[in-house]
Chain A
C-alpha cells in the first residue's frame, strides 16, 4: 500500500473540492425542486446524517487499526469474502467514475458542445486521468490544493459580483 502522506491543507482541499463540486456548483435538482429555498437546510441535514454514518464506520474501524475494508472482510469471511468485497468495490468505483464522468460530460455537451460527440468529451477527461496517473500522488494532491484555491477565489468573486441579485429573505423559507 502506498504510504504517501498528505499534509493538513491538502486533505482539507481534497474534501473541499468535492463539497464545492457536489453541493455548491451542482446542487441536486431534486433537492431544489422539493425544498426550494430551504435546500440549504436540506444539505445541512443530509450532511449531519452522513457525518453520523461516517462516525459509526470510524468507530467500527477503530477495532481494526491499519486495516482497510478488504483486510477486514478477509478477517471476517476468509478469502472468498475478501475477493467478493474487492470486486464489489471495484465495480462500485468504476460505476461511480463512469457516472460522474458521463454526468459532467453531458452537462458540457448540453451547454457548449452541442455538435460534438460525447465520446470526445469523455476522452478528454480520460486522457487527463491517465496523464495524472503517471505522476506521484503527491503531485495530484498538490494540484488539487492549487485548483481548490483558484476555485474558491473565483467562487468568492462570483458571489461578490452577483450580490446585487441576492435576496436575503429567500434563505429563510419560514418567513416567506
Chain B
C-alpha cells in the first residue's frame, strides 16, 4: 500500500529537483580582489622586487610563470639575480645560451678583478700627474659587456617591465640595481605567412598578414622599402595593452591626418582590444550608418599601396586585418588586381562590378515593383510566362521573395560554419532545397529562383567582404520599398541612400565623391583607370605633401626629344 501511495505521490505531487544548479551571486562589493599597491619604480633590493613580481603575476596560482634565481658573476664578484618570464612565450635556447651562460659561467669577461680601476684620462702639470678613473658601474658593465643580446633595454618602472614580460620578453633583476633589463627572447609559436583567404587575386603577391604585429610590419617594410616609412607603436586597452602600429609615409602623408588618427586611437578608454574590427568601430566617424568607413585588408601589398598614396594604415596585434584610412566608397569596389593588370582589363572588371552592385542591390526590389505596380514595362510574352508560372503559387510576391532571400542568407551563414567534410553536401542540399524542391512544391515560382540566384552571384562579386553586408541589408530595404511604393519607393530609398553616402566623411575625406567616368593626368577622381603612365597625381582630397606620384613623362625611354 505504501508503495502504491509513493508511486502516486511521485507521479502527481511536485517534487523539488535535486539536480545541481549554480547561480552567479550578486557581487555587492565591486572592489577588485587584488589589493596590491601600484608600485612605480623598481627597488634596488632583489628580495623586494621578487616578492612584488610574484604577487603581481600570482605566481602561486599561475602555472606558466617561470622564475629562475641564480648568482650572477661580474668582475669576479657575485650578485644575486633572477630571471622572470612566461613559459611558452620565450625561446628557452636564447635564454640559456645568451643570458644564463654568459652571466653564470666563469669567463674572461666576468672574472676581471674589481680592484683595477679603469684609467680614462691623465694629465701632467707642474710635475703632478692627475688621473681620471672610472669607477666600476655594474649596470653599464652588464649592459655593455656581459649580455650578448641584440635587443636589451634598461627599465626602471614596474609597469613597463611587466608589459614587456606579457609580450614575451624576459626580465633580468639584479640585486643592488634600481633597474631591470628587458631582453628580447620572444619564441611563441605563430602562424607562418599564409596566402590571402578573402582577397584572392590572380596576378600579384600571394602573402597575407598574420596575427603577430612585428611580422606584419616587416611585410609592409619589404614592400615600401623606404626609410621614411614611419611605424609608430601605441598601446590600446588598460588591461590588455594591445600593441597597435600606425604606419604612414612621413614625406607623403598629411600631418593633420596622421595626428587625427593618433588622437582617436590614443583617446580610447577601454579595458581590452583584441581585434582590428573592434578598433574600427571605435574610431570610425559615424557608427549609425551601415556602410563601412574604414577599409580592412589582409594583403600587405594593398596596404603598402595605400601608404604610398598618402593614407594611414593601422595594424593591431592579434588580428590579420590592417585598417586603412581614410576610405571612400570607390575603394571598397576596387581590388588589388586592378593595379596589377592592364588598364583595359581593369576597366572591364570595374564595369562588371558596377553592374553586379546594381543587380545585387536592386534586382529583387525592381522585380517586385514591376510585378506589382509597373507591369506595362514587361513585354507581353514574358508577362504571360510570369503570370502562368505564378498561378500555382499561393503566396504573394513579397512573401516569396522574403522566403527565398532568408533561405539564401541561412544557407550562406551555415556554409561559413559548417565543418569542411560536410561543406559540399550542405551546398548541394541547400541548392536542391532552394531550387528544385521549392519550385516543385509551388512555394516559389521558377522566375524567382533565377532572380535570387543572379542576386546571390552578383553579391559575391563585390570585392570587399564588409561592404557585402551593406548590400545584403539594403537589399531587404529595397524589397520592402518596392512592395510598398513601386518605383517611387525605390527612388525614395535611393535618395536617402545617396544622402547618407554623400553626406558622410571618412577622416575628413568625403565618403562618396562624384567620380567622373574617365580621368586624365590632372583628374584624380575617376572611376575608370587611366593608363599607368597617366596616373601622375595622388588623390587631391588627401592633401598630401607630395601631390605628384610620377613625372609628367614617366617613360623617359620613349622620349625622343633627348
A-side residues, CB < 8 A to B, are: 108, 112-113, 121, 124, 127-128, 131-132, 135-136, 138-140, 142-143, 145-147
Complex A-B: 22 CB contacts under 8 Å: A112-B373, A112-B488, A124-B488, A124-B492, A128-B492, A128-B495, A128-B496, A131-B496, A132-B495, A132-B499, A135-B499, A136-B503, A138-B503, A139-B502, A142-B514, A143-B495, A143-B498, A143-B502, A145-B514, A146-B498, A146-B514, A147-B498
* Interface pair A135/B503, CB less than 8 Å apart: yes
Taking CB atoms, residues of chain B closer than 8 Å to A139 are 499, 502-503
* Most chain A C-beta atoms within 10 Å of own C-beta, residue among B373, B374, B488: B488
CB distance from B49 to the nearest CB of A (A): 59
B-side residues, CB < 8 A to A, are: 373-374, 485-489, 492, 495-496, 498-499, 502-503, 514
* Interface pair B503/A108, CB less than 8 Å apart: no
Since A127-B492, A143-B498, A143-B502 are in contact, a sample of 15 more A-B pairs with Cβ atoms closer than 8 Å, ordered by chain A residue number, is A112-B487, A113-B373, A113-B486, A121-B488, A124-B489, A124-B492, A128-B492, A131-B499, A132-B499, A135-B499, A136-B503, A140-B499, A142-B514, A143-B499, A147-B498
Known: A112-B486, A124-B485. A142 touches B502 (CB 8 A): yes
Number of A-B pairs whose CB atoms are under 8 Å? 42
CB distance from B547 to the nearest CB of A (A): 20
Taking CB atoms, residues of chain A closer than 8 Å to B492 are 124, 127-128
Which 10 A-B pairs have CB atoms at the shortest separation, nearest pair first?
A139-B503, A135-B503, A142-B502, A143-B498, A139-B502, A112-B373, A135-B499, A143-B499, A143-B502, A139-B499
Taking CB atoms, residues of chain A closer than 8 Å to B499 are 131-132, 135, 139-140, 143
Taking CB atoms, residues of chain B closer than 8 Å to A128 are 492, 495-496
Taking CB atoms, residues of chain B closer than 8 Å to A127 are 492
Taking CB atoms, residues of chain A closer than 8 Å to B487 are 112
A142 to B495, CA, bound (A): 11
Taking CB atoms, residues of chain B closer than 8 Å to A124 are 485, 488-489, 492
Taking CB atoms, residues of chain B closer than 8 Å to A142 are 502, 514
A143 to B501, CA, bound (A): 9
CB distance from A119 to the nearest CB of B (A): 14
A132 to B376, CA, bound (A): 32
A160 to B380, CA, bound (A): 22
Q: Which chain A residue has the least Cβ–Cβ distance from B369?
A: A112
CB distance from A135 to the nearest CB of B (A): 4
A146 to B516, CA, bound (A): 11
Q: Which chain A residue has the least Cβ–Cβ distance from B493?
A: A128
CB distance from B201 to the nearest CB of A (A): 30
Picked from A108, A112, A147, the residue with its CB within 8 Å of the CB of B495 is A147
Taking CB atoms, residues of chain A closer than 8 Å to B498 are 143, 146-147
A103 to B488, CA, bound (A): 15
Taking CB atoms, residues of chain B closer than 8 Å to A135 are 499, 503
A136 to B502, CA, bound (A): 10
Q: Which chain B residue has the least Cβ–Cβ distance from A145?
A: B514
CB distance from A131 to the nearest CB of B (A): 6
CB distance from B215 to the nearest CB of A (A): 42
CB distance from A58 to the nearest CB of B (A): 29
A136 to B504, CA, bound (A): 10
A128 to B499, CA, bound (A): 10
Taking CB atoms, residues of chain B closer than 8 Å to A140 are 499
Taking CB atoms, residues of chain A closer than 8 Å to B503 are 135-136, 138-139
Taking CB atoms, residues of chain A closer than 8 Å to B495 are 128, 132, 143, 147
Q: Which chain B residue has the least Cβ–Cβ distance from A142?
A: B502
A135 to B492, CA, bound (A): 16
* Interface pair B502/A146, CB less than 8 Å apart: yes
Picked from B374, B496, B502, B514, the residue with its CB within 8 Å of the CB of A112 is B374
Taking CB atoms, residues of chain A closer than 8 Å to B373 are 112-113
Q: Which chain A residue has the least Cβ–Cβ distance from B502?
A: A142
Taking CB atoms, residues of chain A closer than 8 Å to B514 are 142, 145-146
Q: Which chain A residue has the least Cβ–Cβ distance from B373?
A: A112
CB distance from A162 to the nearest CB of B (A): 14
CB distance from B364 to the nearest CB of A (A): 19
A131 to B495, CA, bound (A): 10
